[in-house]
Amino acid sequence: MRNKVIAGNWKMNKDVFETADLINGLKKSVAAKNVEVIVCPPFTSLVVAQQLLKGSTIKLGAQDVSVHDDGAYTGEVSVTMLKSVGCEYVIVGHSERRQYFHESNELINQKAKKVLAASMRVIICVGETLEEREKEITDKVITAQIKGVLAGLSESDLERVIIAYEPVWAIGTGKNATPRQAEDVHQLIRKLVGQIYSWNVAEKIIIQYGGSVKPENAKELLSQDDIDGALVGGACLKPDSFAGIISPI
Ligand code: PEP
């Protein structure tokens, strides 16, 4: 039995003052029972979030990480830096990073390895574009992404890996995948993990769905057998809507 994992990706939203308001609101409204709840604010808000989350069950994550350890990489943030501000999770390979910053499966794989080497947990995102879905090559695209992002990771690494299936056409569009569409891809991902590793690993791995998840559609999506949680964008920016996704679980 896999526990649900709900992560909020704040993207480039909330300054430190707004961060304090949102974290305080979440602490009041989010009651996590058998659910792992993670918030991923921007880098500039991590310290204040860490301070305010002390004593809370809500975990802290980052939205990205450098592949480099330290040195002359202007603008980059290392895994050690993230660890030092209390991050337990890092999202890698979000479709916005793939699209706007040209991140490849290979780079995402390197980032995932950095996170895992630092004994942290990684949320690795995959997902097809609308064009790819319409060309009916979703399975092919997801298969290539999964093989690429997991290359060289061991069975024990997989204990700290979450895969987020995020169809690009559903992100920030208000148009979520139907529970059936999402479940089909989740089953494919679990099957691929089973083929690459073992059925034991496949049964345990957490596979989140992301793409316009909100309180109105979360229950049905999360009731699918292979949907083990959600990666939430827009709806995680207000305590009530984030809590509205978590509370019914
Ligand atoms: C996301 O950014 O990962 C996401 C799923 O966004 P939204 O929930 O707004 O579609």
For residue range 59-70, list pLDDT tens digits in order.
999 999 999 999
Q: Are 65 and 82 in contact (CB under 8 A)?
A: yes
Q: Residue 49 in 3-state DSSP? A: helix
The residue extents of the domains of the chain are 4-246
**Distance (Å, whole) CA 180 – CA 85:** 39
Q: Residue 226 in 3-state DSSP? A: coil
Ligand 1 site, residue 233, Cβ cutoff 6 A: yes
What's the CATH class of domain 4-246?
A: alpha beta
Phi, psi values for residue 244, rounded to 5°: -65, -20
**Distance (Å, whole) CA 33 – CA 15:** 29
Q: Which residues, in sequence order, are CB contacts of 147 under 8 Å at separation 6+?
A: 192, 196
Report the separation in Å between the CA atom of 198 and the middle of ligand 1, taken as the mean of its atom positions: 30
Percent of residues, the chain, with pLDDT higher than 70: 100
Residue whose CA lies nearest to ligand 1 atom number 6: 233
Ligand 1 site, residue 177, Cβ cutoff 6 A: no
Phi, psi values for residue 5, rounded to 5°: -130, 120
Ligand 1 site, residue 213, Cβ cutoff 6 A: yes
**Is the pLDDT confidence value at 34 over 90?**
no
The catalytic residues are 94, 166
What number does the ligand 1 atom closest to the CA of 94 have?
3
Residue whose CA lies nearest to ligand 1 atom number 2: 233
pLDDT for the residue 1:
79
Q: 28-32, 71-75, 79-83 — which is least confidently predicted?
A: 28-32
Token digits of residue 35: 């659910």
Residue whose CA lies nearest to ligand 1 atom number 4: 233
Instruction: Find, among 194, 1, 160, the residue nearest to 88 by Cα.
Output: 160
Q: Are 62 and 51 in contact (CB under 8 A)?
A: no
pLDDT for the residue 249:
86
**Distance (Å, whole) CA 59 – CA 170:** 25
pLDDT for the residue 66:
98
